[in-house]
Structures are given as C-alpha cells and as structure tokens.
Amino acid sequence: MPIFHDKKLKNLSLKMKEPAFHLRSLLQDKERCAALFYEGGGLYLDLCRQNMNSEVMVTLTEKARERGVRQSFQDMMAGLKVNASEKRAVLHTAARNPGAPVWVDGNDAAAMLATVLRKIFAFADAAHNGEILGSAGNRFSHVLVVGIGGSRLGTEAVYEALKARHPVWLPLVFLSTIDPNAFYLQTRELNPKTTLVLVVSKSFTTREVAMNQKMVRNWLKNSGVEPSDHMIHVTAKGSPGDCKQDICRDVFHMFEFIGGRYSASSAVGTLPLSLAFGKDVVERFLAGCREMDAHAAQAPEEKNLPLLAALCDIWNGEYLGFPAFVMVPYAAPLLFFSFHMQQLYMESLGKGQTLSGQPIPPEKQAMLCFGHIGTDAQHSFFQMLHQGRGAPVEFIGVLNSPLEACADVSGHGLTPHEELWSNLLAQADAFALGRREGRPEQLCPGNRPSSILTLRDLDANHIGRLLAYLEARTVYVGLLKDINPFDQFGVENGKTLAADLRKHFSGEVPSSGERVETYLNALRQGFFRDQEPKR
Ligand code: F6P
C-alpha cells in the first residue's frame, strides 16, 4: 500500500502546521538540528530547515522499513525484473560495477557492460592519439552528440560539471530538438572535416534523432566528407541502429535493462565523456556512482541519504501539500543537473496509478520539479518562493572553491566562493525564518522548507556520487509510492498525434479540421488569415 494513507503521519502533518512548530521555533532546537544533519556516500544532507521534528522523521523511516524499500532497491541491483510493465530488469547500477556479476536471462549484464566500456576506452584513446581520423585524414577536434531526453540530459549534466575541474580533449556539442534553428546554431561553429558524430538513441526510433541524423549526414556530405567515416551509433543491442553496413563507423551498445534517463553511466554517457575527458576521469566518475549505489543499498533507513531525501519528498508532497520542489545548485557547472533532474524525476514519477492499478489522487501524486542555479535564481523566481506560493527548495553547495586565485573582490575579506555560500545560507534561513519587521509589502511568512545537499568538490568522483544520489532518490520515491519509476507510456500519445498530423501536413490524408488547418495555412503563408500584416 502506498505510504500516503498513513494516519499517524497525517496527524503529525496537521500538528506541524501549528504556529508552535514554525521553523523559527524548530531551528532553536540544537539537538533537533544536529539530528537532521546527515553524512553518507561521501555527501552531506542538512534537513534541519524541513517542516519536521524528529518524531516525523522517525515515523517516516519506520514506514520505509515496514515497506522493505531497501530490499526492493537491492533486488533492483541484483537483476530482478522490477520494471513490471516492460518486464525488464533495471541495471544502470551494473554499468558502474563491472566486476560484480549480475545475471539476467542467463547473461552476465555486468560483463556485457564491461566489454563495451573497454571498447569505449580503446576508441577514445585512439581518437585522442590520432589513430582514428576523419575521411579527409584529419584528426577529430569536436564531437557532435545527436540524442534527446535521456540520451542527452544526463551526459550533458555530467559534461558541463566536469568541465569545471578536468581538461577537455574533444569538446562535446549537443543536438536534440527537431527545430532546424538548433541544427544551424549547433553546427555553424563546427568543421565537418574534423567533427565526429555520435548518434545516441536507445530505441533508434526517435523521430528527432532520425531527422537530425539525416541533416547531419547531408551537412557532412555537402562538405565532401564521407558521413559513415564520421558517424558512430550508441544504441540498444538489436535496435534498428544496431547495424554498421555503410551507415556508420561503429556501434556501441547500451541495453534494454538500462532506462534512458538512467543511462548516463552506460555507453550513452561514457563514450562521449571518454572522448571529452579520457579514461581516468570517467573511471573516477563511475567509482563515485558505485560508492553512492553501495550507500543507497546498504545504509540503514535512518542514515541513507537518497532514502531520507525521498521521504522528505513524500512528506512535503503528500502530507504538506506542496505541488513542486525546486532544485537550486549554488555552482554554475551544475546548471544542467536541474534539467537532467526534471526528466529523471518527472518522467519516472509522473504516474497516476500504483503498480496494482489503484488510481492516485492528484494531490498525492509526485511533485513537479524545476530548477536553476544560485545566485541567479534569487533574482528570478525566489520572490514567489519568499512571499507568494512557496515550494521546498533543494540547495546544492560545494565546499571546495574552484579558483584559488579568486582573491578578495568583496571588500569584506571574502572570496567570491565564500560570498556564494553566504547567499546560499542566507536564502535558506530567509525561507525558514521569514521577515516580521518592516512595511507590509516587505514581510515574509517564512516556515518555507529547504534542504542543503553538500559535495566536497566538483571532481569526477563527487559528480558520480551526485548523479547516483539523484537516481537512487528517484527510485526510492517510486518504491515508497508503489508506482513503476522505470516506464513512460504517457509520452506516446503526443508522438502518435504528431505522426497523424504529419500526414495531414503532407496532404497524405485529408485535413483534420479547422483547428489544424488554421495553423497549417499560417505556416504556409507566414501569418494567420485575418492577421495579414499591413503592407
Ligand atoms: O520520449 C521519451 C523518451 O523515450 C525518453 O524516455 C528517452 O530518454 C528519450 O525519449 C529518447 O529516447 P531514445 O534514447 O530511444 O532515442
């Protein structure tokens, strides 16, 4: 039974809304604050600004223990077919643990993944050493990654984060949407003769990928380059893209037992990241993921960081009624983790029924999530979160400063990094404490929850821990809500309607009525019929 029908938690949530439990009072309780500060898996999680007392967290972890979610997580890592609707195992964790055999349908998934990883490292080395050249005999200087959703977002989040700490061998350029503006913008700085193209698609049936691949193929051909010498496919074994013939130079496999949005540590991510940063950095990234996976699977409920974060999501969403949470990394290199989390969290947990088909009332469904970096968010949507409709904020901070050289530019003897942290902590306290002095329009109610996730550094190992933490937290919310966090059937309807509309647009089938006609005509004429621009 999902966790959101618990009477005791319901009563506690009503109690927590009483003035006596305003965060202004709760933060006075040093013991409580110390009890809600956690360290595990190489990360730190500070929950003392959550609208909860120790009794709430104890009750939540008891519920998690009763429901055996840690055992379910271990079952997932052991290769059980936990993706019930697609009858698949879920083994993104095996991609970063090549030495631990995991058997699926009589095959050792970890060994299959390890074989691909060795092939990836050899290919990246050869590209870096100039042993692999373009059809015109040039060394490759850039990598164009054609892929969308899970075949882009996780890789891009890790790539942008690692650039802050690790030198780049071959810069990555990402192309996903079907919008031709993107093709133009992403290729105009590239030289086709020195561009290696990775076409990344688990299914190799995604429309955007097929169309962008065609546009890139023409772009290469028109520049006198033999496209198949510049193209590599990354796809699920047996997909339509799992063929070399004269289409591409090579194919690197990912597998059906790895979900797109969980695939950044499979070939989907490790091939582009190895070309960008090399084997050593990628191995450290995978080690960080692996260490967080071990923590997520083995740490007891009350010390398990991804599970505690998941329990906070259940508490904030289902008991305190927040419709969304906001992820705000106070580290510019982590900007794309907000976009990755949007897909990871909402494509996994945006479900209206439990595994047994029980409808979930809208107010009990998982929260939406969005995000941006700090301090930019302070000058963007924080006004709403301070005085308007509030939402739990997930701050992410990094202890180690990026640039030692960054001297005191603040005039207060503070480095910019310390200035950044003073803002993060000030915002977290401003949400909690609010403001009671001043003119009415200046007052803030406070009692707005937030948590602070802290990484020691932005190196490859910690970025691996962060990625695996967000994946495990998402899976734990799914297990606690008794939903399937691994399928995404809801995305199909829009694709089917788009396929039908294409037939109308192409005149293959007669028009489907007024609403579409209006836009079709406007597209063709460049204006809507009664909006003809005045000459
Ligand atoms: O449409 C949603 C989706 O299927 C995502 O789940 C996936 O990450 C993305 O499209 C891309 O899919 P593929 O890697 O098969 O091209």
Q: What percent of the chain is modeled with pLDDT above 70? A: 95
**What DSSP character marks residue 180?**
H
Which pLDDT tens digit goes with each residue over 385-425? 999 999 999 999 999 986 655 556 667 788 899 999 999 99
- Domain assignment of residue 487, yes or no: no
- Which residues have any ligand 1 atom within 6 Å of their CB? 148-151, 201-203, 206, 209, 260-261, 347, 488, 491
Domain identity same for 420 and 352: yes
pTM above 0.85, yes or no: yes
Which pLDDT tens digit goes with each residue over 268-324? 999 999 999 999 999 999 999 999 999 999 999 999 999 999 999 999 999 999 999
pLDDT at 524: 87
Taking the centre of ligand 1 as the mean of its atom positions, its distance from the CA of residue 426, in whole angstroms, is: 39
Domain identity same for 258 and 355: no
Domain identity same for 341 and 431: yes
Domain identity same for 256 and 151: yes
Taking the centre of ligand 1 as the mean of its atom positions, its distance from the CA of residue 491, in whole angstroms, is: 9
Domain identity same for 142 and 17: no
Mean pLDDT computed over 201-227: 97
- Domain assignment of residue 83, yes or no: no
* Cα 227 to Cα 193: distance, rounded to the nearest angstrom: 10
Output the domain CATH number for residue 442.
3.40.50.10490
In terms of residue numbers, what domain contains 212?
A: 93-284
* Cα 473 to Cα 307: distance, rounded to the nearest angstrom: 6
Known catalytic residue at 7: no
Domain identity same for 148 and 203: yes
Runs of H (alpha helix) within 222-266: 227-230
CA dihedral 514, 516, 521, 524 (to 10 degrees): -170
CA atoms within 13 A on the CB side of 505: 11
Average pLDDT across the chain, whole number: 95
- Domain assignment of residue 87, yes or no: no
pLDDT at 407: 59
Domain identity same for 29 and 120: no
Which pLDDT tens digit goes with each residue over 47-75? 999 999 999 999 999 999 999 999 999 99
pLDDT at 277: 98
Mean pLDDT computed over 355-366: 95
Q: Which of 347, 394, 417, 462 is catalytic?
A: 347
345: alpha, beta or left? (left if phi > 0; alpha if psi -120 to 50): alpha
Domain identity same for 186 and 306: no
Using an 8 Å Cβ cutoff, are 250 and 228 in contact?
no
* Final residue belonging to a domain, choices 242, 257, 284: 284
What ligand 1 atom has the least distance to the C-alpha of 488?
6
- Domain assignment of residue 84, yes or no: no
327: alpha, beta or left? (left if phi > 0; alpha if psi -120 to 50): beta
Taking the centre of ligand 1 as the mean of its atom positions, its distance from the CA of residue 260, in whole angstroms, is: 6
What ligand 1 atom has the least distance to the C-alpha of 268?
14
* Final residue belonging to a domain, choices 257, 284, 311: 284
pLDDT at 3: 61
Domain identity same for 476 and 496: no
Mean pLDDT computed over 125-145: 97
- Domain assignment of residue 533, yes or no: no
pLDDT at 264 over 90: yes
Domain identity same for 117 and 250: yes
* Final residue belonging to a domain, choices 252, 284, 316: 284
Using an 8 Å Cβ cutoff, are 187 and 236 in contact?
no
pLDDT level of residue 140 (50, 70, 90 thresholds): very high
Q: Which of 10, 214, 221, 495 is catalytic?
A: 495
Domain identity same for 42 and 159: no
Structurally, how many domains does the chain consist of? 3
- Domain assignment of residue 117, yes or no: yes
- Environment class of 291 (CB within 10 Å of its CB; exposed 0-12, middle 13-18, buried 19+): middle
Known catalytic residue at 441: no
Q: Looking at ligand 1, which residue's alpha carbon is closest to its atom 16?
A: 201
Which pLDDT tens digit goes with each residue over 477-502? 999 999 999 999 999 999 999 999 99
**Of 308, 316, 315, 302, which Cα lies nearest the Cα of 390?**
316
Domain identity same for 46 and 193: no
- Domain assignment of residue 294, yes or no: no
Mean pLDDT computed over 181-200: 98
pLDDT at 471: 98
Taking the centre of ligand 1 as the mean of its atom positions, its distance from the CA of residue 40, in whole angstroms, is: 32
pLDDT at 412: 73
Using an 8 Å Cβ cutoff, are 148 and 211 in contact?
no
Long-range contacts of 495-502 (CB under 8 A, 24+ apart): 495/207, 498/207
Specify the amino acid at residue 397. Answer: G
Q: Which of 7, 379, 412, 534 is catalytic?
A: 379
* Cα 235 to Cα 252: distance, rounded to the nearest angstrom: 7
- Domain assignment of residue 133, yes or no: yes
